[in-house]
């Protein structure tokens, strides 16, 4: 029997917030969550929480299960200062105890496709005789789609899952796109051909957080059946 290379679902993870409070529901998270502007410099994300946030983020779905993402966990103080300089000098980057650099990876997609499809077949999620065809299908699909858009699309599913899990555990977060991708690549050894998609800072917010700016009403962003057709809401 061939060895399985893929991991199972997370089995050990904190059941409560660090102070023992219950996890926030996702509805509460989406009511409370703000893009934190300033983090308490003395806050911390305990290792078992960071591990859970990363493990749950890794459960995100992806086309053909290719999981085209990598995450650099930056905790070292000097590195956070280096990252801050590559990120428009935003104070929060150095203040947050953890910043995750999310990278979309396109350099080994065919090898990954082979690996995930074969293991999928071993696990009953596909058939061995279909692996080659599925791999060709995946590669054909990827050859037609702008890869930078595809990498952003996928990586943000995992980043969003991490953000919401972290908030559910009571932490505050800030997703960021204000950075110089070339500088981030240079400072953190990321190959030039990969795509820096976002930064995700995790910690404890310095309160109060800034005022809620509101959202466009659903009637302006949701359509019924056809683009531009007014959303009727509850029928």
Number of residues that bind its own copies (CB under 8 A): 98
Query: Quick one: how far is CA 128 from the chain centroid?
Result: 31
168 counts as binding its own copies under rule CB under 8 A: yes
From 63-71, 90-98, 127-135, give the range in contact with its own copies by CB under 8 A. Answer: 63-71
State in angstroms the smallest separation of the CB of 69 from its own copies: 6
207 counts as binding its own copies under rule CB under 8 A: no
Rounded CA-CA distance 227/31 in Å is 28
- Residue given tokens 């991991």 in the structure block: 7
212 counts as binding its own copies under rule CB under 8 A: yes
20 counts as binding its own copies under rule CB under 8 A: no
Eight-class DSSP state of 231: P
Q: Which residue of 2, 9, 20, 42 would you call a contact of its own copies, by CB under 8 A?
A: 9
Q: Which residue of 73, 106, 183, 206 would you call a contact of its own copies, by CB under 8 A?
A: 73
Beta carbons of 128 and 80 less than 8 angstroms apart: no
Nearer to its own copies, 207 or 215 (CB): 215
From 18-26, 90-98, 128-136, give the range in contact with its own copies by CB under 8 A. Answer: 18-26
Give the tokens for residue 128. Answer: 């061995």
21 counts as binding its own copies under rule CB under 8 A: no
172 counts as binding its own copies under rule CB under 8 A: no
State in angstroms the smallest separation of the CB of 35 from its own copies: 5
Beta carbons of 128 and 114 less than 8 angstroms apart: no
Q: Which residue of 45, 52, 199, 202 would you call a contact of its own copies, by CB under 8 A?
A: 52
Q: To the nearest 10°, report the CA torsion of 103, 42, 91, 57.
A: 20
Residue 62: C-alpha distances to residues 65, 72, 124, 157, 235 (Å) = 5, 19, 18, 8, 33
Residue 200: in which H helix or E strand, if any? strand 195-203
């Amino acid at each position: 029997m061939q060895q399985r290379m893929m991991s199972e679902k997370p089995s050990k993870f904190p059941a409560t917030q660090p102070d023992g409070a219950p996890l926030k529901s996702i509805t509460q998270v989406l009511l409370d969550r703000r893009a934190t502007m300033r983090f308490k410099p003395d806050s911390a994300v305990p290792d078992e929480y960071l591990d859970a946030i990363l493990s749950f983020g890794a459960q995100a779905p992806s086309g053909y299960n290719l999981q085209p993402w990598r995450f650099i966990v930056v905790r070292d103080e000097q590195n956070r200062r280096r990252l801050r300089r590559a990120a428009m000098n935003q104070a929060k980057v150095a203040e947050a105890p953890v910043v995750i650099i999310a990278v979309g990876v396109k350099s080994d997609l065919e090898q990954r496709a082979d690996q995930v499809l074969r293991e999928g077949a071993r696990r009953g999620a596909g058939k061995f005789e279909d692996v080659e065809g599925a791999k060709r299908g995946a590669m054909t699909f990827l050859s037609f789609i702008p890869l930078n858009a595809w990498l952003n699309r996928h990586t943000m599913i995992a980043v969003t899952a991490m953000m919401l899990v972290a908030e559910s555990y009571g932490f505050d977060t800030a997703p960021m796109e204000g950075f110089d991708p070339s500088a981030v690549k240079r400072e953190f050894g990321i190959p030039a051909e990969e795509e820096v998609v976002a930064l995700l800072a995790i910690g404890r917010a310095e309160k109060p957080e800034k005022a809620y700016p509101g959202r466009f009403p659903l009637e302006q962003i949701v359509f019924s059946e056809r683009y531009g057709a007014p959303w009727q809401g509850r029928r």
